[in-house]
Amino acid sequence: MPQISINSPIGALTIFEFDDQIVALDWGFVDEMEPSPVLEEAKKQLNAYFSHTLSRFDLPLAPDGTDFQKAVWEAMCKIPAGQTATYKDLAAAAGSPKAFQSVGTACGLNPIPIIIPCHRVLASGDKPGGYSGQGGLETKRALLKIEGVELPLETDQGTLPL
């Protein structure tokens, strides 16, 4: 499968392509294999995102998942940079208003994080929720900070502003 790696502020990332569509993004470096024009464009757009000069990705995506997961990922792509939505918001957008726990599962299974911005999805009350990418919530916070969003810290005593 063609792939390309980049250095980013959140660590090394590798982008995977199949049939001229982005199918995955993962943490870590791999040996580049057949870098294609779509991979070069994805690398260019990710670098622009991390440089604060791109707020919306324009890439052909083909994430593998259930119809519901694909609907959730499509709804995630509509959350503008610098804004957030809740699991409940995405459940409604995906046509299943009570399926907010399944939205959390879809977030965790997102094969193309950052580009499909699961980091913009929060639990109710603007609580961070989780993040399945390398670095967990610290990575989620870092991605949101790139977009100008500061999440409060959660402690045993409640939520504290940063």
Answer yes or no: 77 catalytic.
Answer: no
| Locus of tokens 């009350």 | 125
Q: Where are the alpha helices (DSSP H) in the chain?
A: 37-50, 67-77, 87-93, 100-108, 136-146
81, 90, 115, 118: the catalytic one is 118
Cα separation values, 42 from 14, 28, 52, 66, Å? 10, 16, 15, 24
Residues annotated as part of the active site: 118
